[in-house]
Structure 1
């Protein structure tokens, strides 16, 4: 067997040149398009907020349907409620004259009364709470009186208001005011009293006048407490107007519920209560959102 000559064996450089190395490309993961990434992020955020409340709601509806499906059940199941009130749900804007109106008009009338009475309570409550929080003498003088008045049930004021105003409309607004003002007063006073002493010292060093001190230091520092009282107040206002309208009559969601009870329309009552709860939820969230914007996040929503 013959051995190949040394010159016939290709040199290493020749072998490398004959078989070049394959170019290795880096593996880069495909990035989703920007609009798709934003869509996915928004979808996950919405699902994280919507899905958890839906689970107990669906469970409640299923249990309600099973318990009230029998012929001897005192309350109608959800399926029957929807069937009985389908026209009421799909056409809330009808107006046939008098008190025969859709749910929208009853809710709108109640909201008007609530916003007027609540606005008066917010202005008066913040002003009185500021006075009590700043003045020790005012706190000792007014706090016992307020502690007595705030324990009176809201509807207990209605006969007195009817005797004083001779009309149901101002009486309902007064009941809203007297119900909502107390948590606003108390929380505002607590917020004013809890202002750090360092803030007061800064005001003295800067020689701020009373108006500048109120605008730049006192109100911003007490704002989280104030908006806590405002949130409690708006909830109590909505509770009070529904109860008051059951007694004073006229257009309003409270009267609608009472009239449905007199007509034995249980399904109408259930639908009205659902609307009352939804409106109350949005009222609370609206005040909370304003608080977050005004206090720059120090008042949690």
Structure 2
């Protein structure tokens, strides 16, 4: 049986079907695929925050300008005796041209005087930290010790540090140990009080867990108390250093020797008021640097923002 295939004349004469790529839409799609992808736009450089810059720089500059203008106005009045800013600046250039000269035990540059004061502060403050911080932990941990020493602290803390200077002169028979003793007695109270308050504010749940786990006193101190009390402790250290630097100037003015306080008193005896104003700025700058260093130290050990 033979099968015959018949083709219509129209089918034979019809043109071949257009390929998918021959249509306009397909050509456009093909061209778009062949074209390389456009590169992503380059990130824009952040604009300079001029407002933040001026808000950070302009207020301090204006504050210093106001200080200089008030100083100039007071110095310009008759019979004030206060040197003008330009005169003080000229004296400062002369003083800091050679800050480490030595012409005898009582005639030394401002650099040696500052270093001598910092040495006394470091010794007195270090002794206060060795005594005050452990005492604060003990007072904070023990209710009996807290009730025993709180009245004594409340009685002795308001006493002016310079009132302790004659006691130091009587006991130690020397000006330098007496100044260190004054630094010690005025630095110990902030560290004792802040450390004890920090221990007392440790959540009771922490201590309950320590009792359940039967932790030793050393483990409680190293794992619970010390990390929790550290922000309070560093606050006490900052207050103590500021008080120590404040007191050493007054103590050296009374005891003499080498130190920034003695330098101020010696310049007063020489009626050199420009040097006294320079010493005031030096004392303020050194105190500011100490405060800034302790703020940076505190920020390394606490997650909270440390403010001046």
Q: Which category describes the TM-score, using the shorter chain as reference length?
A: 0.7 to 0.9
Question: What is the Cα deviation at residue 299 of structure 1?
Answer: 4.9
TM-score normalised over the length of structure 1? 0.84
Counterparts of residues 60-99 of structure 1 (less than 5 Å): 60-99=67-106
Unaligned runs of 5+ in 2: 1-23, 29-37
Query: Any idea what SS the aligned residue of 1:160 has?
Result: helix
Among 264, 275, 299, the alignment partner of 1:268 is: 275
Matched residue, 2:299: 292
**1:230 corresponds to 2:233:** no
* Structure exhibiting the larger radius of gyration computed from Cα positions: 2
Post-superposition CA distance 1:202-257 (Å, at most 9, x none):
22233221111101110111111111111110011001110110111100000000
Counterparts of residues 101-250 of structure 1 (less than 5 Å): 101-250=108-257
Distance 2:90 2:227 in 1: 51
Post-superposition CA distance 1:86-121 (Å, at most 9, x none):
210232122222221111100000000001101111
Query: Any idea what SS the aligned residue of 2:76 has?
Result: coil
Question: What is the Cα deviation at residue 47 of structure 1?
Answer: 6.1
TM-score normalised over the length of structure 2? 0.82
Give the direction of change, closer, same or farther, for the CA distance of 1:198–1:264 in structure 2 (3 Å limit): same
Instruction: Report if the CA contact (8 A) 2:140-2:146 is conserved.
Output: yes
RMSD: 3.0
Give the direction of change, closer, same or farther, for the CA distance of 1:27–1:299 in structure 2 (3 Å limit): closer
Unaligned runs of 5+ in 1: 1-12, 18-24
